[in-house]
């Protein structure tokens, strides 16, 4: 089993350090990391990082994130109330500080080794350490696939919309038979902060 912290090196994607031949089993993600990620960075749209295995030099996993806002004012009333319950003293804001995990993938060569959960734990850690007091939520538009949704749920992400139908209404796709391509999910960084304090 690969340990990201002990057996790999974190690399920030750059003109000198690009990703090539990355294969996570998803063509859309492969195309993004291998070709589009650097273009996104040139347009200041997000930063990509990847872990390189020290022994083999292979890319183990990669992710892209960017600043965002959790716009609770746009949510249905019941979901807005549930999210705002997480904020003490009833600090009502139109948008709460967040980072969006735009892309995330694990190489097929390193499947079934717990890499995905390690990567999300690292993202939570780096969010807390590098940007203290600036990120309340992590957001993700997760592929609407049971294995992907279960992955995020196992790592304590919650659905923004209780049901797919509610999310369909939000996207004004009521009555449509079209399956949603993604589901909007969030993680409350206060949970990670509390658990981090307990571990100290």
Tell me what pLDDT residue 110 has. Answer: 95
Instruction: Of 159, 142, 154, give the one whose Cα is nearest residue 103.
Output: 142
Q: Which two tokens stand for residue 57?
A: 């030099």
Tell me what pLDDT residue 74 has. Answer: 74
For 59, the domain range is 4-199
Q: Are 101 and 64 in contact (CB under 8 A)?
A: yes
- Please give the DSSP secondary-structure letter assigned to residue 23: -
Tell me what pLDDT residue 177 has. Answer: 67
Give the total number of structural domains in the chain.
Answer: 1
Q: Which two tokens stand for residue 115?
A: 């890499």
Per-residue confidence of the chain (200 residues) as pLDDT tens digits? 899 999 999 999 999 999 999 999 999 999 999 999 999 999 999 999 999 999 999 999 999 999 999 988 777 777 777 777 777 765 667 788 999 999 999 999 999 899 999 999 999 999 999 998 899 999 999 999 999 999 999 999 999 988 888 888 887 776 666 788 999 999 999 999 888 767 76
C-alpha distances out from residue 191 to 7, 103, 125, 194, Å = 27, 23, 12, 5
Q: Are strands 137-143 and 96-106 parallel, antiparallel or unpaired?
A: parallel
Residue 100's domain is classified under what CATH number?
Answer: 3.40.630.30
Tell me what pLDDT residue 176 has. Answer: 62
């Amino acid at each position: 089993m690969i340990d990201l912290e002990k057996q790999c090196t974190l690399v920030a994607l750059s003109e000198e350090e690009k990703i090539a031949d990355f294969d996570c089993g998803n063509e859309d993600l492969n195309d993004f990391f291998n070709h589009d990620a650097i273009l996104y960075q040139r347009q200041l749209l997000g930063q990509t990082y990847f872990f390189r295995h020290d022994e083999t030099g292979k890319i183990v996993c990669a992710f892209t994130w960017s600043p965002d806002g959790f716009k609770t004012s746009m949510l249905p009333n019941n979901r807005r109330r549930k999210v705002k319950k997480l904020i003490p003293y009833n600090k009502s804001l139109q948008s709460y500080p967040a980072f969006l995990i735009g892309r995330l993938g694990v190489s097929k060569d390193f499947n079934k080794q717990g890499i995905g959960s390690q990567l999300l734990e690292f993202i939570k850690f780096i969010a807390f350490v590098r940007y203290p007091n600036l990120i309340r939520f992590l957001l993700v538009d997760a592929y609407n696939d049971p294995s992907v949704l279960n992955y995020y749920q196992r790592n304590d992400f919650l659905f923004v919309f209780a049901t797919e139908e509610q999310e369909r209404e939000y996207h004004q796709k009521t009555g449509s038979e079209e399956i949603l391509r993604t589901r909007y999910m969030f993680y409350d960084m206060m949970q990670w902060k509390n658990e981090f304090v307990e571990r100290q």
